[in-house]
Chain A
Amino acid sequence: MSVQQFRLPDVGEGLTEAEIVTWRVAPGDPVGLNDILVDIETAKAVVELPSPYAGVVDRLLAEEGQTVEVGSPIIAIRTGGDADAAPDAASPPAEEPAEEPAEERTAVLVGYGVSAQARTRRPRRATPSVRPAEPARRPHTSRPPVLTKPPLRKLAKDLGVELADVRGSGPGGRITRQDLLDHTTGPAPVAEHRSDERLPVRGVRKATAAAMVASAFTAPHVTEFLTVDMTGTVEFVDRLKQDPSFQGIKVSPLLVASLALLDAIRRHPDVNARWDEENQEIVRFADVNLGIAAATPRGLLVPNVKAAQTLPVRDLAVALNELAATAREGRTRPADLAGGTVTITNIGVFGVDAGTPILNPGEAAILCLGALRRMPWVVDEQVVPRWTVQLSLSFDHRLVDGELGSRVLAHVGRFLEDPLWGLALR
C-alpha cells in the first residue's frame, strides 16, 4: 500500500492560495480517478478538484474554511493493493508521508503547476582553480552545512543554541526565526484561525463618536484634579438613609456631589455656560440642567435633570434615581438628553480613580468622580483611615480660566468634605 498526497494546485495561472469550501469525500471513501474530491474557492472562482488517484481516502489534511497555500497537501489517498481496507481508526494517523519521496519529481508538476519544493539556489561545484586544492575546513563533519541568515546565527549564539540541532522548516531546510524560538521554548501553540470582527457603527455609538470628536477638537480642554476626604459625605449619606423622609429613596455620594456642583455653580455661575462660536458670545445658562453620564444598554447617554438648582435635596435625589432607572431600562426620552448645561460622570463605579473627561458638546464643565476608597489621611497630625475620592474637572478654556475652574473644583471638594457646611451656607 502506498499513500499518495494531493497538493493544492494552482488552478488559475498564478494563484497562491485557495480556501477549502466543501469536502465531497471523507476518510474511508473509495475514490476513482477524476472523481470530484473537493470544492475550493480561489481569488477567481469556485472550482472542483478531481482526484488524481484511484484508491481510498486516508486522511483529509485541510479543513473546510481553511485557506491553504498552493503546494500544500490537502488529502492523502491510499492506492494500490489493500487500498480497499478500511482505515484503521485505532492506529495512529500516518505522520506526514513518512517516505515523502524526494523523487516525487518524476510526476512533477510543471509550469504554473505545483512544485513539491520551493526553488532554492543550487549548490555550486568547487570552481576549478589553478591553486592547489585547500584541505576542506571540516573534513569530518557528516552533517550538511546549516542554512540560515546571519542575524539568526547571531541570535542562536546569544541564546546558546547549536544551530545544527535546530530543525529548519524553511525552503531547503533553512532555519527560520520561528524554528529557533521553537527550539528554545518548544513549539508555539497552534494559533486558532481568528479574524478581526468588524462592527457597523450606528445609533448611539455613532452619535457618541461624533459628539466626542466635535467636542475634543473644538473646545480646548483643561483637566484639574483634587483628592478629597469623603468621610463627611459618607456620614451624611448614612444620615439621609436613616431619615424617614428619605424612605425608599436611593441616596449615594453622587447626590452629594450633585449638590456640591450645584452650589459651586451658584457661587460661580460663569461655569454653567457655553461658547457660542457663531455669534462670538458666551451664553450663561439661566438653569442648571444637570447631566449624569450613564452606561446604558444603548450605549453612553447623558440625560439631565432640568433646573436642578431649584430642587430641594429630596426632589433632586428622586430625580437622579428616576434618571438612572430610566436610562438602565433604555427608555430615556430625547427631551431628557437635550439641553444639558453641565455634567457629572461617575467612573468610580468602575473602580477607577480619575480620568480626563471630554466635555459634553455645548457645555463648559464636566466633573468626574473616582472610586470611593479607604485611604490613609492626615487628620490632626495623625494618619488615620478615611474615605477618599479623586475628583477631576475638565473645562472649556475658551470661557473658563484656570482660576475659575480651580475655584469650582475646590468648592466642590470643600462641600464634599463637609456637606452640612455646604448646605448651611446655601
Chain B
Amino acid sequence: MTTVDLADPPVTNPFTGTTDLPRAAEGWTQLVTPDGRLHPDVDVDRDALGRLTRDLYRGMRLARRLDDEAFALQRQGELGLWLQCRGQEAAQVGSVAAVRADDYVFPSYREHAAALWRGIGPADLLRQWRGVAHSGWDPEPYSFHIYTLVLAAQLLHATGYALGVQRDGSDTVVVTYFGDGAASEGDASEAMNIAAVNAAPMVFFCQNNQWAISTPTASQTRTPIHRRGAGFGLRSEWVDGNDVLAVYAVTSAVTEHARAGAGPAIVEATTYRMGGHSTSDDPTRYRTDDELEAWRARDPLARVEALMRAEGWSDETFLGQIQAEADELADRTRRECLALTAPDLADAFATVLSDVPQLLREERDAFVAYRGSFLD
C-alpha cells in the first residue's frame, strides 16, 4: 500500500512574468472555462502548465476525499462537527500552492484543502472537531496557523503578524483566508485599512462562496467585495474561484507584488459552498436545487479533469494512481480519527504558561490527587 505523501509538492510557476491574464465575460480572471477549455491567450510553457495542473488536481482530489470521509465520520457520530470544503478546492489549493512554503497562512475554519496541501495530516485536521483538543496542530512547522472560529478575527492576527514580518525585515508574505460573511465584520475593514496604511506584505484572500450560513451575498454587500480594495488602497483582484489555474496565477502575482514591498492585496475568489455551512446546517431550507445544480456544472475538479483530458495531460494510470492515493487517505483519515482519544486533563496545566508557577503546580497536583481517588 502506498503512503500518501502530504509534503507540499514543489511547483514551478509557469506564469512568472505574465502580466495580462485573460478575463471571462463576467469580468473575473479565468484561464479555463467551466467545460475545461484553456483560454487561447494563455501563452505559457505547456509542459510546465501540465505538471502544475496535475499537481493541483491531486491536491484537490485528496482534499475532497478527506472532506467526504470526515463528513461521513461526523454522520456516524465520530466527529461533533465538520465544515465541508467541497466546492472550494480550487480556490484553496490554487492559492496555497501559489505562495512559498514559508509564507505564513492564517486560515478561517474551512481551509482543509489548503491545510492538507501544507502537509497537515488527517489526525491534526480532525482532532478539534472530535472535541479532543482546542486546536489541531503546531502552526510553526507548517507556517499555517490554527483554525479561527471567531469570524474575521484571523484578519487582525494576520495583519499583526505581517507587521512583525515587516519589522523583522523578512521577505515572508502573510496570507489570510476569509469568507463573504466575515467581510462584513468590522475586523475585516480594520485589518485591510491598517495593512494598506503600513504596506504590509499581505494577501487578503476572500473565498466568496455565496452563503454566510443562510445569508446570501446579496444581503451582505452592495458592491463586490474585491472593489473595497480601492477604498482601502489595496491591490484588488477578482478571480473565478473554481478555476484552479486562474486562482494560482492571480495569487502568484499578488504575492510577489506584496513580497516586493508594493503593498497588500485583496483577492475575491468567486466560488460555491456545495455542502451545508456545517454538519448542523440544512441548506435545503434556504437555497434551491436549481442553484446547486448550476454550480455543480462549474465543479472545480470536473473542470480540471476535462482540461487534462483535452490537453493530453492525464491518462488512466495517472487517474488510477490519484484514486488509489485518495482511497488510502480516506482509510487513514478514518483510522486516525478513531484513534484520537481524549487528552489527559493534567496536561492542560502544562500548556498554560511556559514557566509553570508554584500555584499552578499545586493546582495540578491537587487535581491529579483528586483524580487518583477514584476506583476506575
Contacts and interface: CB of A to CB of B under 8 A. Distances in A.
B105 to A, nearest CB: 26
A111 B130 contact: yes
Contacts of A109: 77-78
Contacts of B281: 44-45
B125 to A, nearest CB: 15
Interface string A151-192: 000000000000000000000000000000000000000000
A114 B376 CA distance: 21
Contacts of A110: 80, 130-132, 340-342
B75 to A, nearest CB: 5
Contacts of B76: 6, 9, 49-52
B373 interface: yes
A19 to B, nearest CB: 15
Interface string A31-59: 00110000000001111111110000000
A13 interface: yes
A129 interface: no
A45 B285 CA distance: 9
A52 to B, nearest CB: 4
B374 A13 contact: no
Contact of A112 (B131, B282, B285): B131
A123 B374 CA distance: 6
B80 A112 contact: yes
Contacts of B132: 110-111
Contacts of B376: 122-123
A51, A52, A122 pick with most chain B CB within 10 angstroms: A52
B315 to A, nearest CB: 28
B72 interface: yes
B288 to A, nearest CB: 16
A13 B72 CA distance: 15
Contact of B280 (A6, A13, A50, A124): A13
A140 interface: no
A108 to B, nearest CB: 8
A11 B279 contact: yes
B93 interface: no
B81 A13 contact: yes
B77, B280, B282 pick with most chain A CB within 10 angstroms: B77
B79 interface: yes
A113 interface: yes
B368 interface: no
B338 interface: yes
B374 A122 contact: yes
Given A52-B76, A125-B374, A107 B338 contact: yes
Interface in A120-140: 122-125, 127
Contacts of A112: 80-81, 131
Given A7-B77, A50-B75, A111-B79, A122 B375 contact: yes
A50 B72 contact: yes
B69, B75, B81, B334 pick with most chain A CB within 10 angstroms: B75
Interface in A95-118: 107-114
A11 B278 CA distance: 10
Nearest to B374: A122
Nearest to A111: B131
B143 interface: no
A124 B373 contact: yes
B74 interface: yes
Contacts of A50: 72, 75-76
A114 B374 contact: no
Contacts of A80: none
B77 A113 contact: yes
A35 to B, nearest CB: 10
> Which DSSP category, helix, strand, loop or mixed, fits chain A's interface?
loop
Nearest to B77: A9
A12 interface: yes
A111 B80 contact: yes
Contacts of B282: 44-47
Contact of B374 (A51, A111, A124): A124
A320 B107 CA distance: 87
A6, A11, A48 pick with most chain B CB within 10 angstroms: A11
B130 A49 contact: no
A51 B279 CA distance: 16
A110 B132 CA distance: 8
Contacts of A10: 77, 80
Contacts of A107: 78, 338
Given A111-B131, A125-B374, A12 B78 contact: no
Interface in B72-93: 72, 74-81
B78, B130, B282 pick with most chain A CB within 10 angstroms: B78
Contacts of B81: 13, 112
B279 A12 contact: yes
B33 to A, nearest CB: 33
A48 B338 contact: no
Interface in B95-111: none
Nearest to A45: B282
Nearest to A123: B375
Contacts of B375: 122-125
A44 B374 contact: no
A116 to B, nearest CB: 10
Nearest to B76: A52
Contacts of B342: 110
A55 B375 CA distance: 38
Contacts of A111: 79-80, 129-132
Contacts of A11: 74-75, 77, 279-280
Nearest to A51: B76
A10 B334 CA distance: 18
A264 to B, nearest CB: 68
A113 B78 contact: yes
Interface in A237-267: none
Nearest to A15: B280
Interface in B332-376: 334, 338, 340-342, 372-376
Contact of A48 (B69, B75, B280): B75
Contacts of A124: 373-375
Nearest to A14: B280
Given A12-B279, A13-B80, A13-B280, A49 B75 contact: yes
Nearest to B285: A45
Contact of B80 (A44, A47, A113, A122): A113
Nearest to B282: A45
Contacts of A6: 76
Nearest to A71: B77
B177 to A, nearest CB: 23
B73 to A, nearest CB: 8
Give the 6 A-B residue pairs with the shortest CB-CB distance, closest first: A111-B131, A9-B77, A45-B282, A112-B80, A111-B80, A52-B76
16 contacts: A9-B75, A11-B77, A12-B279, A13-B81, A34-B72, A44-B282, A45-B282, A45-B284, A45-B285, A49-B75, A49-B76, A50-B75, A109-B78, A112-B131, A125-B372, A127-B373
Given A11-B77, A44-B280, 7 more contacts: A12-B280, A45-B282, A110-B340, A111-B131, A112-B80, A114-B77, A124-B373
